[in-house]
Amino acid sequence: MKITAVKVFVCSPGRNYVTVRVETDEGISGLGDATLNGREKSVVSYLCDHVAPCLIGRDASRIEDTWQYLYRGVYWRRGPVTMVSIGAIDLALWDIKAKVAGLPLYQLLGGKCRDHVRAYCHAFGDDAPRLVEATQAAMDEGFTAVRLQSGLRGLEENYGVADKGKRYEPADAALPREMVWDTPIYLNQMPRVFETVRTAVGEDVALLHDVHHRLSPMEAARLGKDLEPFRPFWMEDPLPCEDQDALSLVRTHTTTPIAVGEVFNSIHDCNRLIANQQLDYLRVAVSHGGGITALRRMASLADLHHVRMACHGPSDVSPVAMAASVHFDLSVPNFGIQEFMGYPPEVRDVFACSHELKKGFLYAGDTPGLGVEFREDAVERYPYKRAFLPVTRLRDGTLWDW
Ligand code: KDG
Ligand code: MG
């Protein structure tokens, strides 16, 4: 079965998505997700100019060899643009292989290790009482795990918090907006927010929190300790991701579990962290990390060291990668939890999916392959809109980690 075309589509049903379709001479095609929030066009160029021409005529069944060809065969390796491109091709080839077999993808990955995939959703509020309401609403929908993000007194806006009634979409402007950040206010208020929510909703629900890379090692250690009485499921990305050794300092001070990795794109970004047990959950997205082929390697390494997989799943991971995550999550022994922000009707109109969320758990469905169909007319109906993620500054103007 030969690859005859690699097509790349960009559409914006409420936010930008880059979708790849690999076509073959036997009429079977596969889908991949190459969305890189705020950098969509760079990926389009990488795929169209540097990947697609090399794949025409290659055997679509040779998934590992194609992965090696696109990774090892290339001098300029790694990086988000390269790895999400490889990831998209990899997902498409797995989709094709599973369609040829007439099986949902998880069957080719060894079959189900569990009946369904536990998902966590996002709850946010300007203050703790509103966050209690949002958490309760998520629990009423059936979620057993909820991420808490709160507004902070004295700050106009904060990561993960949208206006009431609106969805949170961070890449919301044609040029980067600027937000103000204040670490002391955050460190004082966040534990109190956790206390209020935990007291209101009881101890059975898992409560997660995303620090979004903003603390120093000692500040993160303090936050971890202060949150401990309220039993957080995890503290995510406490530090900027480059300084990996610093996580060991955080760990020696707190038993709050640590989740990192949504900006990682290679096993080389996490092999030492995993081997040194400096994290509890690995958050690499199935698309950003180089596809199913690469994620399975990471999961096997993680499993040796008691680290569980928790693939990144914000709305900027398209339903194609979300489907791949669900198949992956069903099949790996060391699955932890799956982030699921959900999609608005416009997105569901573009991507028809066999996977579904029922009462806080994800199910893959039985459609052969990934189980996603892409409506190509979305490119005209929902054209690309330039969108940037914000930047953050301290009150005195110092640029900070977003
Ligand atoms: O594009 C940026 C988002 O993917 C990121 O802000 C989402 O941190 C995130 C999360 O945990 O979902
Ligand atoms: Mg995050």
Q: What is the pLDDT of residue 165?
A: 84
CA distance 401 to 212: 8
Q: What is the pLDDT of residue 241?
A: 85
- What is the widest separation between alpha-carbon atoms in the chain? 61
Concatenating the DSSP letter of every residue in 228-278 gives GGG--SEEE--S-TT-TTHHHHHHHH--S-EEE-TT--SGGGTHHHHHTT-
282: three-class secondary structure by DSSP: strand
Catalytic pick among 209, 212, 312, 327: 212
CA distance 347 to 128: 31
Active site residue 46: no
pTM of structure? 0.98
∠ CA 244-248-249, nearest 5°, is 110
In a 13 Å sphere around the CA of 347, the CA atoms on its Cβ side amount to 17
Instruction: Provide the edge-to-edge strand list for the sheet that holds 178-181.
Output: 178-181, 391-394, 399-400
Cα 224 to chain centroid distance, Å, stands at: 22
113 CA from centroid of ligand 2 (Å): 26
Q: What is the pLDDT of residue 1?
A: 97
Active site residue 212: yes
pLDDT in tens, the chain (402 residues): 999 999 999 999 999 999 999 999 999 999 999 999 999 999 999 999 999 999 999 999 999 999 999 999 999 999 999 999 999 999 999 999 999 999 999 999 999 999 999 999 999 999 999 999 999 999 999 999 999 999 999 999 999 999 888 899 999 999 999 999 999 999 999 999 999 999 999 999 999 999 999 999 999 999 999 999 999 999 999 999 888 889 999 999 999 999 999 999 999 999 999 999 999 999 999 999 999 999 999 999 999 999 999 999 999 999 999 999 999 999 999 999 999 999 999 999 999 999 999 999 999 999 999 999 999 999 999 999 999 999 999 999 999 999
Cα 129 to chain centroid distance, Å, stands at: 28
Residues of the chain with pLDDT > 70: what percent?
100
Q: What is the pLDDT of residue 19?
A: 98
Q: Is 304 exposed, middle or buried (0-12, 13-18, 19+ CB in 10 A)?
A: exposed
Whether 314 is in the pocket of ligand 1, judged by its Cβ within 6 Å, is yes
60 CA from centroid of ligand 1 (Å): 32
Burial 35-69 (b: 16+ CB within 10 A, else e): bbbbbbeebbebbeeebbeebeebebeebeebbeb
Q: Indicate the top mutation candidate among 212, 236, 237, 284 to test ligand 1's pocket, ranked by most ligand atoms within 8 A of CB.
A: 212
Q: What is the pLDDT of residue 243?
A: 83
Whether 293 is in the pocket of ligand 1, judged by its Cβ within 6 Å, is no
Concatenating the DSSP letter of every residue in 25-72 gives TTS-EEEEE---TT-HHHHHHIIIIIIHHHHTTSBTT-HHHHHHHHHT
